[in-house]
Amino acid sequence: MKRLRASNRGVSMNKLIASLTAAGHPPIQLYGKGGSLLVLPYGGRTLGLYNRDGHNFFWVNPNLDRVATAEAFFSEEGWKNSGGDRTWVAPEVELFISDIENPGETYQVPSSLDPGSYTVQHGVGHVKLTNQASLVLNRQEKTCEVEVAKTIRMTENPLRYEKGMTSLLQSVDFVGYEQLTSLRFTSSEAPGIRLGIWNLVQVPAGGEIVVPTVRESVPKTYFGDVGPSHLRVNAESIRFRVDAKDSRKIGVRAASAVGRMGYLRSIGDGKKTLVVRNFFVAPSAEYVDVPWDDLDDFGYVIQCYNDNGDLGQFGEMEYHTPAIGEGTGLSSYQDRSQVWAFLGDAQSIEETFWRLLGIDPYSRAKNR
């Protein structure tokens, strides 16, 4: 399979708008003080997060940067990995894998989830995307109907009210947005069914995902060789390298997480980028996504994924929400999260990293 090329700036915004529009899937653009974002109704995702100079902080499939390849991309059969920030529903082992004994060969993205059939409401300063999905739980041999809805709007720099920050705020580009995501049953709840929101951002390879933790917490390896070259752990964080060379995935329990994760990446010329996701963690709630090899191992709120390059030069910052359904007392759930993106000289980005994640970027972490 052909490996998709990497780019420090990503697919340009104007080319992406033009090619998506020509391919019959025009995006919606929202504007903020520091840049803009592109919302793609196809698949219900935020596809591009751009600063004023046109740097995209997300990974976008490079086939979308030209009309001809974009048209071919959308005409192909099967699931399409366009990139950006998408919403799926967990548990993965029930909804995406038909035979847990052969997960790699029987993995299939439910088309009712992605691309789904999202309707769009475009208001002043926000976009609301709503999808009705019929889901099949393979092992339980049950079905259910759900609604996934997301409202997206631009947001402010989280450091704007901090004291003594004038110089830092002036030296670092910022752009960000808030996402309100909801999941609810639209049919009668079948016994035993529990589902949760699963949000993830695809980021370009070449950096490190950093997960702050309340104590030293060794993550669960879902699959792949997650050795010392790709995983470091200390009393305050888990660090996961993204290089798009081999498939690897880890999970972090809710009891260890603090509700933020960041992606730190050098882009050349002494500059770095930082992407932070801020979200709610409820350790006493039910988190129902489990490793493929241990179907009773619950409680994971964060996952980090490194692709092998076949799907693209990217990694994923993933988080889950508390579940709805049997035993949870909930038939619906609404989640609020933010994505904050920064670009600047290395020193300024490292200070931003410290202020938002509470971790010294140079602190030593033990290899695992």
Sign of the torsion angle spanned by Cα atoms 180, 175, 84, 217: negative
Number of Cβ within 10 Å of residue 272's Cβ equals 23
Please tell me the predicted confidence (pLDDT) of residue 36. Answer: 97
Sequence-separated (6 or more) residues with CB below 8 Å from residue 24: 74
pTM given for the model: 0.94
Please tell me the predicted confidence (pLDDT) of residue 189. Answer: 73
Sequence-separated (6 or more) residues with CB below 8 Å from residue 292: 92, 93, 97, 100, 103, 222, 223
SS3 category, 243: coil
DSSP type of residue 22:
H
- Joined together, the tokens standing for residue 251 give 């999970």
pLDDT lower than 70: segments of the chain: 1-9, 362-368
The CATH code that applies to domain 13-367 is 2.70.98.10
Strands of the sheet with 126-137, listed across from one edge: 119-123, 126-137, 142-154, 172-185, 332-345, 271-278, 260-268, 207-212, 237-242, 231-233, 366-367
The residue among 276, 277, 305 whose CA lies nearest residue 291 is: 305
> How far apart, in whole angstroms, are the C-alpha atoms of residue 51 and residue 296?
43
**CA geometry: angle 199, 334, 218, nearest 5 deg:** 45
Digit-coded pLDDT (tens) for 331-345: 999 999 999 999 999
Pairing relationship of beta strands 237-242 and 119-123 according to DSSP bridges: unpaired
The residue among 159, 252, 179 whose CA lies nearest residue 211 is: 252
Digit-coded pLDDT (tens) for 135-171: 999 999 999 999 999 999 999 999 999 999 899 999 9
**Are the C-beta atoms of 159 and 168 separated by less than 8 Å?**
yes
Distance of CA 79 to the CA centre of its chain: 17
**CA geometry: angle 349, 235, 250, nearest 5 deg:** 80
- Joined together, the tokens standing for residue 171 give 């030296």
Please tell me the predicted confidence (pLDDT) of residue 1. Answer: 31
Please tell me the predicted confidence (pLDDT) of residue 366. Answer: 53
351 φ, ψ to 5°? -70, -40
